[in-house]
A and B are shown apart, each in its own frame.
Chain A
Amino acid sequence: MIISVASGKGGTGKTTIATNLALSIAPINKKRTLKGSATNSNILFLDCDVEEPNAHIFLKPKFKKTYQVTIPVPEVDKRKCTYCGKCVEVCQYNAIAVVKNNVLIFPELCNGCGGCSLLCPEDAISEIKREIGIIEEGRADAINFIHGKLNIGEVRATPVIRSVKLKVKSENGITIIDVPPGTSCPVIEAVKGSDFCLLVTEPTPFGLNDLILAVEVLRKLGIPFGVIINRSDIGDKKVTEYCKQERIPILMHIPFDREIAVTYSNGIPFVLYKKDWGLKFKNLWLQIEKLIRN
């Protein structure tokens, strides 16, 4: 089962919800194989906010493996190249230019589609790998943790997200995905294939505006979803009214609480301090399971 946590607007509490949910349901699924031996968990946490990943701050995993994320970029064999300009014609991203008797490649613009190497009539273009980010994999108690990190100065987050998502095991077990903010390609890449999406918002005009955009995205992708209202007692009632009107289930309210804000700022998931919330997150999980079944 794949559950993603998204929002549209940034800073509404995606990471808070995703990490607290993972911690609250983790013990249920903890299977002790033998007394005293390592626990065998089937919870996988994927932080797909590869531009600004934060979940590791809260779950504090021990990273064991690091992988490179690369995209293929062209390399021209100048002995074979006849400067015919076919590659320039094919490239939709202006990543290749032919100037007199020289081919210029702009790797940061390359989308890695492979068109130039495939269609070069002289077979003069091959592809080399260029690193744009990394994946780190580790464990935080009962949770398997993976996140991606886009390298500084790189523009394309989606290939890094795609690499993180290759780790999804959909057959059994639970995957929780922390999604980046916004509504464009990185968000689509991160939520695609989810069985359910939690949309975290706040009751302000910004929260509502961006919630409506996120709802449109999920409807277009055909992913079922529910809403969580964070800092639910600030602002106004318009988010609640909107959800009622659109028949969107509101699955949880989290009132503003200075203590929660402070534990957050110290990188501590608040279920560890406020035990009653552990139960609320377990209930949230049961509600999600029920909504997926129906």
Chain B
Amino acid sequence: MKQIVIISGKGGTGKTVIAASFAALAEKKVMADCDVDAADLHLLLHPDVKETHQFMGSKKAIINQEKCTQCGKCINVCRFDAISEVRGRKREMLKQVQHDIVEIDTISCEGCGVCKYICPENAITMRENISGEWYISDTKYGALVHAKLGIAEENSGRLVTLVRQNAISVTESASSGMDYIIIDGPPGIGCPVIASLSGADLALIVTEPSLSGIHDMERIIKVTNHFGVKTVVCINKYDLNLKNTKFIEEYCQKSNINLIGKIPFDKIVIEALVNGVPVVEYSENAASKIIKIMWNNIKALCNHR
């Protein structure tokens, strides 16, 4: 079983469109949407949710106002500026308690618990916090493991890891053996990206022929090299700037990276997206033709190793 992760560094280069097409083209596979912040793969695969699970993120500190003496020790130790003293005056305006109180901003709280340990009155407790949900679903193309991170929540890396682990257990429990896990990754190079790609068998980097696309591709290639993941590249909308496309081709050649496809700019891709269908299923078109070749290339690379 091979794990193929689709990433890009820069956002909006076409990761999800390609991932959905691979979902339609590949046999014996499970899909994992690891862009848990802004998941979109479900909009093309239309999952029927079979299992919903809660994701417990980091705990959040809460203050028992009856025990709190406003000594301010917690304010001093918190490195995330999550604790502050709310002056009585402000409260008075709200016609509430008239004395000063100490409050915790749950959005800024990172759950380290130092305030709880330092509080001399034992007034602070750490509360479990549901930071999102993850799902195992059926789609027309097979199983999909996906998630939704709660609004303004953190720990997306841990949720990504959960999604991947469960995609693996779905492949392991499948009655017939699975060949691939297709992972739709997030943009960027930080925590959720690293959680999506570490230990994957192959990373497909989707870039575009713009200076931003090139800059971001160079950074994400450094990340895949850092984690020792075999990397291939494709250029989306390659014909928008042939000079930059040539630069990417030469860059890949120089760096010994396989360029597995150049997808032309085609408005039909957007049409397919609006209709909620993977582009390779939508119609015969120039973009689909290349995506099919790309999938065959990836299959060959996976079976070669």
Chain B binds chain A:
yes
Binding site for B on A (CB under 8 A): 8-12, 15, 51-52, 54, 57, 90, 92-93, 111-115, 118-119, 150, 152-157, 180-188, 204-206, 209-210, 213, 216-217, 220-221, 234-236, 258, 261-262, 264-267
- Tell me if B21 counts as interface (CB < 8 A to partner A): no
Q: Is the CB of B117 within 8 A of A115?
A: yes
In the complex, residue of chain B having the shortest beta-carbon distance to the beta carbon of A113 = B112
Complex-state Cα separation, A229 to B142, whole angstroms = 34
Chain B residues positioned under 8 Å from A9 (CB to CB): 11-12, 38, 40
- Tell me if B241 counts as interface (CB < 8 A to partner A): yes
Complex-state Cα separation, A9 to B151, whole angstroms = 14
Q: Contacts A111-B110, A152-B189: A206 and B273 contacting too (C-beta < 8 A)? A: yes
What number of A-B contacts does a CB cutoff of 8 Å give?
A: 188
0/1 interface trace, chain B 30-49, chain A, CB 8 Å (1 if under): 00000001101001000000
Q: Is the CB of B40 within 8 A of A206?
A: yes
Q: Is the CB of A181 within 8 A of B11?
A: yes
Q: Is the CB of A205 within 8 A of B273?
A: yes
Chain A residues positioned under 8 Å from B38 (CB to CB): 8-10, 181-183, 209-210, 213
Q: Contacts A111-B112, A217-B151: A52 and B274 contacting too (C-beta < 8 A)? A: no
Q: Is the CB of A118 within 8 A of B112?
A: no
Q: Is the CB of B113 within 8 A of A115?
A: yes
Q: Is the CB of B10 within 8 A of A10?
A: yes
Chain B residues positioned under 8 Å from A11 (CB to CB): 10-13, 187
Chain B residues positioned under 8 Å from A216 (CB to CB): 151
**Nearest Cβ in chain B — how far from A110, in angstroms?**
10
Contact-size category for B: 35 or more
Q: Is the CB of B188 within 8 A of A184?
A: no
Q: Which of B220-228, B252-260, B295-303 contacts A (4 or more CB under 8 A)?
A: B220-228
Q: Is the CB of B223 within 8 A of A10?
A: no
**Nearest Cβ in chain A — how far from B151, in angstroms?**
4
Binding site for A on B (CB under 8 A): 8-13, 16, 37-38, 40, 43, 58-59, 77, 79-80, 107, 110-114, 117-118, 149, 151-157, 186-194, 208-213, 215-216, 219-220, 222-223, 226-227, 240-241, 244, 267, 270, 273-274, 276
Q: Is the CB of B190 within 8 A of A114?
A: no
Q: Is the CB of B210 within 8 A of A206?
A: no
Q: Contacts A115-B114, A184-B149, A206-B273: A150 and B212 contacting too (C-beta < 8 A)? A: no
Complex-state Cα separation, A216 to B215, whole angstroms = 31
Q: Contacts A262-B240, A264-B210: A204 and B11 contacting too (C-beta < 8 A)? A: no
The 10 tightest CB contacts between A and B, nearest first, are: A10-B11, A11-B12, A113-B112, A265-B210, A51-B188, A182-B37, A267-B211, A155-B191, A265-B241, A185-B154
In the complex, residue of chain B having the shortest beta-carbon distance to the beta carbon of A154 = B190
Chain A residues positioned under 8 Å from B188 (CB to CB): 51-52, 157, 180-182, 186
